[in-house]
Amino acid sequence: MTPVQQPVPVATAMGRGFKMKCPLCGTGDLFSRFLKIADHCPACREEFHHHRADDFPAYLVIVVVGHIIVPAILAVAPNSATMTAIHTAAVTMTIWRILFSPSIDIG
């Protein structure tokens, strides 16, 4: 049996979560891979399996990339040929996809 932990204040747990660390101890990693929540904390063994994220992390990546890429396209398109803007957008989106979602499981 594991010892009973003192409850962690909500603000502390959320701050640790935003740092991608265990909400309980603050040292273990919250994610095992990009957008994949770990089953448990490697430091204190707190279980994370009951925290469901579903598609929300992937949705956030899409929103952030969209808010960076779309304004860039709109800024570039009026100042140059349309084809150059389209190619720039395609290359930029491909690079962002490779950098920010390297290990998304499909299926």
Q: What is the pLDDT of residues 5-17, one digit of tens each?
A: 778 899 998 899 8
Please indicate, yes or no, whether residues 44 and 84 belong to a single structural domain of this protein.
no
Per the structure, the complete domain to which residue 23 belongs is given by 1-52
Is residue 105 domain-resident?
no
Residues β-bridged to residue 29: 21
Q: Is the pTM of this model over 0.85?
A: no
With b for 16 or more beta-carbon neighbours within 10 A and e for fewer, the 25-39 pattern comes to bbebebeeeebeebe
What is the per-residue pLDDT across 64-75, written as a single tens digit (0 to 9) for each? Answer: 778 887 777 677
86 domain-assigned? yes
Checking if the pLDDT of 48 tops 80, the result is yes
pLDDT digits (tens, 9 = 90+) for 50-98: 777 677 777 877 887 788 877 776 776 666 666 676 777 788 888 887 7
Same domain, 60 and 48: no
